[in-house]
Structure 1
């Protein structure tokens, strides 16, 4: 919901930093993998109950996620880079709720399962439309230059990261926050399914 609105503010400094990293020989794929490793560490920190460490690692993971695209734009976009970016993003999004469930299954498992189900449906709508859009050669730059064309939704990257940070800052509130965000994500997924069906009709 907020991704396209934040792009004009975030892209210029991120692109400058990405260009500087690219000039020093840093690869976009390397940034993507480093970001995922940071995300895995964030999930491990949640499992162990080190929530402020998780908060910082989640923030760093998202910085890397913005930088890999900036480095790619400063050099050249590749299909492999786009593939790694989306797969590892989805893996990270799944690891954080799972980590909360592992940390306290009695308190968190149900809410984590509902949230993961909402992510699953939203991801299916996201990726299925991207496949059909590629088949029809549809393009957009509403979310910046991306490897995939997808329908914008209510729950996107900005909202997801904000929620993850809230969860890490207020871990006792995880079930409430997770259920509320799951409801928003289910609504986003349904809206994406409807919009995708109409656009492909």
Structure 2
């Protein structure tokens, strides 16, 4: 059993495919016998993935800040709810509780959480897979940016492997529950 963290939007987005993917992902996490760790909200894709995982028998741990708890966006039906002091503490706790990360569509918060984990992987502070579930090519522009950063010399090509992209929830769960990508820190080579 792996503890899989899902980063995703507190909104559902306009495309019904986002909701369908979040629901299927929650069911796949449960069906594979894994636990879900996520941001603790009942709104948007967060609530959808949590409800699907819970309805399918998974244990679900939410990690939410005191301020979001006070704003009454916490999911009340979780297996466990962890309350953190700050957004930084929230990200650190989610990482500590998780073995791998799956990213669904979302906005700045989703990207902030995701890039923090990718950076910690790059620095060697943690080692866990990060997989983007690319619903309807939502993350295509982001992966073009990453490829451009490699082409411009700001990332080694193997650092691009710190973030994988798939279109299937089944594949996302399989990769996130597996080993992290191996890499050599860029600065070791003096570049």
Using the size of structure 2 for normalisation, the TM-score is 0.28
Higher strand share: 2
> Which of 1 and 2 has higher RCO (CA within 8 Å, sep 6+)?
1
Higher helix share: 1
